[in-house]
Chain A
């Protein structure tokens, strides 16, 4: 703590004071009376022809008036004991991470250079202690006392540089009312907050308002060799199967004329790459990547440029971000083998769903049909655009539905596009095959390649008999067939539905989940699946092995009670197919999705039971999986609260993209698994830019009336400092001046002399 410099306990200052007991208004009245007396005297001699006499009489009256006032005021001398408080001088040292960069390639760090300078300047700083309290702070941007030794020892780590905030804090810091006489600011000038754009506008006004000269000491050299990914611009979320653009700036210093490859990758998989050419030794080139995410979820993307061996900073050569890919409306392609009641009710449902964007193609006429027209102009038919929908536009659909669609005629056969469809599903698409007499073992189009992606295989001729489908144990819990609010309600809802006519005979493939089956139609000793689902590659597919699900829409109403079973079933199916996040029993959310370096990774897990009620006391296990290393790096476990939610935290991991893989159990019941992505950033805004900004430091000095210097310096130069104006009062002693006899003699003498002169000049 700085100490006030104190005088010895003697009076060391004085001042004139009035010791009169009269109140101020009485003194004012008396003073007015005296002025009046002087004025009357002057008035009385205004006709005096002799200028000498006139002046003498005026002077004598004025003298007498002053003497009389002197007595009224009772002047005295107040002896004072004063203690001068010394003003402060703040020495501010930037503690942001960029101060750990070398001053020059192979040189000491910027902080080390400041520490060495402060040691050299120590004698001059000590000399300043006579007039000022010199306070040495590091700022990050909070002020904290430092010493030259502690600077050299502790590396600078702060994630931001905020010079204005530091200077403001210094002006407000210190003890009591001690004012700041000056600031010595040591920094590389790499401000990334208020002064990022320079000393302009409000920042300039804020600096000027401080009324303190800030002298700046720029540390570090400008000409570093460095390549950095900067200025990332991307939305927080994107729509699946819609293109989006990521913009970055590649900032290169010392790479004039070099071609730099820039790569955008999604969790290790290259999404796009470009090459930029840096034209000058300090050049910033924008790069824009446009790509189309093909799956919903949260993913970590990374923009990378190569790291060259002699670069100042390697950590700023890549930049990661997370992107949440959501869907807009579910875009459904409905391809119908021929108009039928099954098609009519599915169309009615999909068209009235505001969340569905339906594109449909029906085969209204085959080669064997004869519409009986002379010209095709009499028909409203359009060609079946197979190439467009199964090739060029296929990836734009969230779900493709084949409804009894299987034609062997060359003009309508999709044999050529089966592989496209199989790949579409494998790569994250969703597919539904609805049965009938042209597919799943019926008709002549077997579609073997497409069938690979389906959870069932054809197993024989269809059975046209009425039957009541059975809900399997899996179907009771599965989101597709859970059409009630709980298991009992789901079972009751299905039981109410009328029997349906006709089912294709299929068998479930290994790995398929059968949700409903036929009660007596069997293949290989197992009941034939009616509704089966599975995950195929990154996609999903569903088979409905009948063309009579429309009975649930229409025939279900025959006894008068309304039924929503059909709408719920197909609504659920679409949501499951497109991986609606609300349909997962375990919801995993990285909190936050992007983590600054050195910060912990948080994750919120929400567990629900199969009936979608919150799972209390569920055991949650979350694995932090490094996408770069392709292995888990940490595991955390926890137990959910009453709301089924638990928040877990991982110690700060190495920078890079990570997956949070969660699973949960309640007792012996498996509550499923879920995942999210999190980007642990290699560098914050602070380390992404190794540049030194001497011009900013000069602007600060100029705006505040300080001076700008550059390190290294041999010693502390003469920096501008305000003089300390503050005086504090201690003890006082009054010494009257008016009570001397000669003052009374002078008054009487003056009055007497005036009377004598007036008599002499004939005025009395």
Chain B
């Protein structure tokens, strides 16, 4: 059974089933405590993966106990409203102009006080395009906390699914990059266009092919997306002592 057929059916059936559930709960207690990805609006092409973000929120709802609003809400990086959305997606195709001082300061405060940033090079760039622009801006936002490779032992690879790689639509880089604030990874950065693997067109088809691994790689990219969301929500929960032995056994 291919992943494409499975997810398409689930999209149709699951979406229909989810609508009354989401609306009931939202009525009862509001949506602000639910998982809603915010999207960073910058001067470049920032909005090419909004469907992918809605999709990963939906997958989170389907596969885990997390309650979501399957939406992607864009905000300027200088917006105080960002502080109601602790998960921020920062993607782009190609470079983008330098952030303003206000944006840099706001983003720094956002990360320092507990916000989480998932950065994603939608163009799969390395040293140019989005990659060079993002690294340039991160050096301004967190000059003391440079991006560094995230080891495979990091809790993000076991926060829900057991994973050992970090594929997206592409597999340019085998690992994620991260900026640590203390023990917390405040920024995770994929150069493999993670959200490209999640994106669907309005007709329900996946927007992009996944290479080189095809559909299995797409499933891994979805799982990694869920793990990243789980990490943003649960931090190092899966590093707690109660999980260690069990996870060790599963790794064998």
Partner-B contacts on A (CB < 8 A): 337-345, 347-348, 351-352, 358-366, 369-373, 377-382, 385, 436-437, 442, 461-462, 464-465, 501-502, 547-548, 550-551, 553-555, 557-560, 562
Contact = CB atoms under 8 A, between A and B. Distances in A.
Given A380-B246, A501-B30, A501-B33, 19 more contacts: A339-B64, A341-B233, A344-B234, A345-B114, A359-B240, A364-B230, A369-B62, A369-B64, A372-B63, A380-B160, A380-B161, A382-B242, A462-B28, A464-B29, A464-B31, A558-B83, A559-B80, A560-B105, A562-B113
Contacts of A554: 83, 86, 113-115
B32 interface: yes
B5 interface: no
Nearest to B66: A339
Interface of B: 6, 25-35, 62-67, 80-84, 86, 105, 109, 113-115, 158-162, 182, 184, 219, 230, 232-238, 240, 242-243, 246-247, 250
Given A342-B33, A344-B235, A380-B158, A461 B28 contact: yes
Contacts of B113: 553-554, 557, 562
Given A351-B235, A377-B250, A547 B114 contact: no
Which residue of A381, A462, A465, A562 has the most chain B CB atoms within 10 A of its CB atom? A381
Given A548-B33, A560-B109, A344 B246 contact: no
B33 A436 contact: yes
A373 B250 CA distance: 14
B65 A547 contact: no
A378 to B, nearest CB: 6
Given A347-B235, A359-B242, A502 B29 contact: yes
Nearest to A344: B233
A361 B235 contact: no
B160 A360 contact: no
Nearest to A462: B29
Contacts of B240: 358-360
B240 to A, nearest CB: 6
Contact of A437 (B6, B28, B62, B63): B28
B105 to A, nearest CB: 8
A560 B102 CA distance: 11
A218 to B, nearest CB: 64
B30 A369 contact: no
B63 A369 contact: yes
A170 to B, nearest CB: 66
B230 A379 contact: no
A366 B83 contact: no
B39 to A, nearest CB: 17
B62 A370 contact: yes
Contacts of B84: 551, 555, 558
14 contacts: A338-B65, A338-B66, A343-B233, A345-B114, A359-B240, A365-B64, A366-B65, A371-B161, A379-B161, A381-B160, A462-B29, A464-B31, A553-B114, A554-B86
B27 A464 contact: yes
A284 to B, nearest CB: 44
B65 A369 contact: yes
Nearest to B252: A377
Contacts of B247: 380
A442 B250 contact: no
Given A339-B66, A344-B86, A379-B162, A360 B237 contact: yes
Contacts of B246: 380, 382
Contacts of A562: 113
B175 to A, nearest CB: 19
B29 A442 contact: yes
A339 B236 CA distance: 12
Contacts of B233: 339-341, 343-344
B60 to A, nearest CB: 9
Contacts of B26: 464
Contacts of A366: 65
